[in-house]
Amino acid sequence: MTDSSPSEATSRASTGDPADRRFVRVDFPADGRDQVALVTIDRPEALNALSFPLLAELTDALEALDGDPACRAIVLTGAGERAFAAGADIKELAEQTPVTLTVDNHFHRWERLKRLRTPLIAAVRGAALGGGCELAMVCDMIVAAEDAQFGQPEIRLGLIPGAGGTQRLTRAIGKAKAMELILTGRTLSAREADAHGLVTKVVAAEATLDEALDLAARVAAMPPLAVIAAKEAILRADELPLEAGLEFERRNFFLLFASDDQREGTTAFIEKRRPTWSGR
Ligand code: CAA
């Protein structure tokens, strides 16, 4: 938590005791942006490799923020300038067997990350490789530094992506490119990633975090029920046939007419004033 944070007591209560965390830092509110949290993967000596304990802390921290109505958007980043995350922890992976992977079931955390309702923005500097690329792709938007590198190099370890890479990268950039990247382990520069639609925008390296926090603040300023409904509907686009996706969108559009914020938004427009959102 930020020491000077006015909502420190609330934040501590909702995100657990920071003293228990070794690999993840939580700042809420983040750097003067009300309603925005900053979560930092803090293992720079291993390029923020996603060990199982780290992934557990990260999932717990994000779920706690997701359950806090004061938190309207989250920025996820990696400590240092060299990596967002360089993948799963290869030293830890080297000791696994199909039995340990099945019994310990650490990978279930990836399903939990997918279910977060709060918009999640990755601020990526340096390597986002393997599980790091998969983590960036679980996020709803990616702000990439000019020095960012994306890729799924697992093939070079005799593996394939195990946390969604074959599916999400293919959906994001198409089969032909995804095949090339996953079958050769080549990485994509930030500019290439932008050209193929993998990232939201590319920014100067030193501006990455600020740009991501500003984007998060703009989302956080929107009516929260509509934000949740929009995120859910957009994510359905990858999963549902068009007809079912359109139906889902229409029902949520209709449902929002039961909200105070819908009335406030349309009334404020007609009265030519700024709306005030209640989140109801
Ligand atoms: N796991 C564990 N440690 C890692 C790591 C990883 N994924 N990536 C980097 N590190 C460690 C290195 O071992 C090294 O530690 P030491 O100083 O103790 O030796 C430190 O971080 C710095 O790394 P490098 O010396 O390799 O730095 P570099 O600048 O020469 O290279 C790099 C950077 C190209 C990112 C390189 O570190 C690299 O290729 N990392 C592995 C990338 C990778 O293969 N990721 C996929 C992992 S498998 C996976 O993610 C499966 C899945 O889908 C869930």
Q: Which domain holds residue 229?
A: 224-270
Residue nearest to atom 19 of ligand 1 (CA): 46
pLDDT of 7 higher than 60: no
Same structural domain for residues 82 and 160? Answer: yes
pLDDT in tens, 111-157: 999 999 999 999 999 999 999 999 999 999 999 999 999 999 999 99
pLDDT in tens, 206-234: 999 999 999 999 999 999 999 999 999 99
Same structural domain for residues 60 and 181? Answer: yes
Same structural domain for residues 139 and 19? Answer: yes
> Does residue 74 lie within any of the structural domains?
yes
Same structural domain for residues 91 and 159? Answer: yes
Same structural domain for residues 121 and 160? Answer: yes
Which of ligand 1's atoms lies nearest the C-alpha of 132? 50
- CATH number for the domain spanning 240: value is 1.10.12.10
> Does residue 263 lie within any of the structural domains?
yes
Q: How far is CA 247 from CA 15, 141, 227, 252, in A?
A: 36, 24, 18, 9
- CATH number for the domain spanning 89: value is 3.90.226.10
> Does residue 278 lie within any of the structural domains?
no
Active site residues: 88, 131, 134, 154
Which mutation among 47, 84, 107, 167 tests ligand 1's pocket best, with the greatest number of atoms within 8 A of CB?
A: 47
Confidence label for 260 from pLDDT (cuts 50, 70 and 90) = very high
Which mutation among 89, 90, 108 tests ligand 1's pocket best, with the greatest number of atoms within 8 A of CB?
A: 90
Residue 89 near residue 95, CB atoms below 8 Å: no
> Does residue 259 lie within any of the structural domains?
yes
Q: How far is CA 31 from CA 28, 37, 201, 216, in A?
A: 8, 9, 21, 12
Residue nearest to atom 15 of ligand 1 (CA): 46
Confidence label for 15 from pLDDT (cuts 50, 70 and 90) = very low
> Does residue 1 lie within any of the structural domains?
no
Count of the separate structural domains present in the chain:
2
pLDDT in tens, 180-195: 999 999 999 999 999 9
> Does residue 3 lie within any of the structural domains?
no
Residue nearest to atom 4 of ligand 1 (CA): 46
Same structural domain for residues 164 and 36? Answer: yes
Encoded tokens for 39: 């979560």
